[in-house]
């Protein structure tokens, strides 16, 4: 889905989102139970590779929202092919730019901003980890592609035959790309299938700042160990199988 169609679906009462060099920013208007409300929007489009400039532009937009509009909810629209793979980005410390963006979003959360991620097209590893995955909760459109890497590349690196990975991927969400697998593992809160505007209003009414992804992954049968292991370490107990 292109970002204009998405924005019109999310904000039928109007928005002023603009695109510049694949960076999206602006605001949208929603009709919440308590009345009309403004949502800050940042994001990327055209499967943008996340390089240092676009990471910094997103961070700046988050900081401006925190400073000028305390408490305003923030929606992160995710469409990226992952981090930009260039020597220049590494030389200038792209991990620091990504971390800065992550810290700004996390800071906004702690200042009382609700932060939602929405994968509307494609999300890949490095571009996703400090956007949708650091929001209070991340959502996706059902047709969205989410992955660390494709199975052929994974087969090359892990030295496991691709046929074997394809077979495993049928019932193990760990290996295969796709929104439903991230849903099962708790990485996504829910899929937004219809009525985007209503889904957004409902999500904003229900999210909080607690990271429940391990618990969700356990409940949904996508990650059996994470919750039990973290809990055992936290409390000094044993790992109890889910």
177-206 residues near another protein, rule: CB under 8 A: 177, 181-182, 185-187
Q: Where in 121-150 is the site for another protein (CB under 8 A)?
A: 125-126, 128-130, 133-134, 146-149
Residue with Cβ nearer another protein (202 or 231): 231
Lookup result for tokens 């793979």: 85
- Minimum CB distance to another protein smaller for 198 or for 239: 239
Interacting residue with another protein among 4, 95, 143, 206 (CB under 8 A): 95
100 binds another protein (CB under 8 A): yes
**Interface with another protein includes 13 (CB under 8 A)?**
no
Contact (CB, 8 A) for 159 and 153: no
Measured distance CA(134)–CA(92) in Å, rounded = 23
If one asks whether residue 83 binds another protein (CB under 8 A), the answer comes out as yes
Cβ 118 to another protein shortest distance, Å = 16
38 lines the binding site for another protein (CB under 8 A)? no
Q: Is 74 in the site for another protein (CB under 8 A)?
A: no
Q: Give residues 150-169 in contact with another protein (rule: CB under 8 A).
A: 154, 157-158, 160, 164, 168
Least distance (Å) between residue 2 CB and another protein: 26
Q: Which of 215, 217, 219, 216 is nearest to 231 (CA)?
A: 215
Least distance in Å: CB of 198 to another protein?
Answer: 27
> Which 203-242 residues touch another protein, going by CB under 8 A?
211, 213-214, 217, 223-236, 238-239
Q: SS3 for the chain, per residue?
A: CCHHHHHHHHCCCCECCEEECCEEEEEEEEEECCEEEEEEEEEECCCEEECHHHHHHHHHHHHHHHHHCCCCCEEEEECEEEECCCHHHHHCCHHHHHHHHHHHHHHHHHCCCCEEEEECCEEEHHHHHCCHHHCCEEEECCCCEEECCCHHHHHHHHCCCHHHHHHHHCCCCCCCCCHHHHHHCCCCCEECCCCHHHHHHHHHHHCCCCCCHHHHHHHCCCCCCHHHHHHHHHHCCCCCCC
Q: Which residue, 176 or 201, has its beta carbon nearer to another protein?
A: 176
Stretch that binds another protein, among 8-16, 23-31, 34-42, 54-62 (CB under 8 A): 54-62
Minimum distance, C-beta of residue 19 to another protein, in the bound complex (Å): 21
Q: Is 102 in the site for another protein (CB under 8 A)?
A: yes
């Amino acid at each position: 889905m292109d970002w204009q169609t998405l924005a019109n679906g999310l904000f039928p009462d109007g928005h002023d989102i603009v695109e510049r060099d694949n960076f999206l920013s602006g605001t949208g208007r929603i009709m919440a139970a308590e009345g009309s409300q403004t949502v800050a929007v940042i994001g990327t489009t055209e499967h943008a590779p996340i390089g240092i400039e676009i990471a910094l532009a997103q961070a700046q937009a988050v900081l401006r929202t925190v400073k000028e509009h305390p408490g305003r909810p923030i929606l992160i629209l995710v469409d990226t092919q992952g981090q930009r793979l260039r020597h220049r980005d590494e030389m200038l410390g792209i991990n620091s730019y990504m971390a800065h963006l992550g810290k700004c979003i996390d800071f906004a959360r702690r200042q009382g901003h609700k932060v939602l991620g929405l994968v509307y097209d494609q999300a890949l590893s490095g571009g996703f980890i400090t956007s949708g995955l650091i929001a209070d909760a991340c959502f996706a459109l059902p047709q969205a592609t989410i992955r660390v890497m494709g199975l052929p590349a994974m087969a090359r690196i892990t030295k496991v035959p691709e046929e074997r990975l394809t077979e495993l991927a049928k019932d193990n969400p760990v290996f295969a790309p796709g929104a439903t697998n991230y849903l099962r593992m708790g990485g996504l809160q829910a899929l937004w299938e219809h009525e985007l505007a209503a889904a957004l209003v409902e999500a904003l009414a229900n999210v909080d700042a607690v990271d429940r992804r391990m618990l969700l992954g356990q409940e949904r049968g996508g990650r059996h160990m994470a919750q039990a292991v973290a809990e055992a370490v936290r409390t000094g107990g044993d790992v109890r199988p889910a």
